[in-house]
Amino acid sequence: MAHMVRKLRTEQGWSQEQLAEIAGLSPRTVQRAETGKNCSLDTAQALAAAFDTTPSVFLSGDADEARGNLEDDQRHRRITREVRRRMGFFRHLGIYLAVNALLFAINAFNGFQTVWFIYPLLGWGIGIASHAFKVFVLFGQSWEEREVERRKRAEE
């Protein structure tokens, strides 16, 4: 656990005092957590909130288990981000279809003397295509995995 607190704190570029202020803890509590002293559930929850992770990362006495908890949490957050991006796209697509169906109906009701509904349909359609490319091709899981591997190799 001590390794996790120090590792996460230094990754954020925070001093112990800054972490204490952000987590709502005393600097002494942060020092104890970093030296490997067992922390209470309240302390673990405060640290988890500061680092946007789960308290289990700080409650485990085993460093390997804590690292595993952190990796699981990071994986969960990555998957959640990906699912939210996809949900955002499908929400966007649904609005696009509903609005353009309404515009088509309005244009049809007015007799199609001028077929104007096609312009927002095509313009917005370019945005939908761009959004789909971004969500499913450019930043999909396979791209992310390749990028992580590329950066790991670059650091070695």
pLDDT of 46-78, one tens digit each?
888 888 887 877 776 555 555 566 677 777 777
**CB neighbourhood size of 56 (10 A):** 16
Is 102 part of a structural domain of the chain? yes
pTM above 0.85? no
- Structural contact between residues 5 and 34, judged by C-beta atoms closer than 8 angstroms: yes
CA distance 109 to 93: 24
pLDDT at 118: 96
Least confident of 18-22, 52-56, 139-143: 139-143
The answer, yes or no, to whether residue 134 has pLDDT greater than 70, is yes
pLDDT at 62: 52
Q: What percent of the chain has pLDDT over 70?
A: 86
Find all residues with CB under 8 Å of 40, minimum gap 6, and list them: none
CATH of the domain at 29: 1.10.260.40
Q: What is the dihedral of CA 155, 146, 79, 2, to 10 degrees?
A: -20
145 and 91 assigned to the same domain: yes
51 and 104 assigned to the same domain: no
pLDDT at 24: 92
CA distance 101 to 109: 12
10 Å CB burial of residue 155 (0-12, 13-18, 19+) is exposed
What mean pLDDT comes out for the span 99-126? 95
Is 69 part of a structural domain of the chain? no
57 and 83 assigned to the same domain: no
Is 37 part of a structural domain of the chain? yes
133 and 106 assigned to the same domain: yes
The answer, yes or no, to whether residue 10 has pLDDT greater than 70, is yes
**CB neighbourhood size of 27 (10 A):** 14
The SS3 call for residue 105 is: helix
Is 130 part of a structural domain of the chain? yes
By residue range, what is the domain housing residue 33? 2-61
Indicate the number of domains in the chain.
Answer: 2
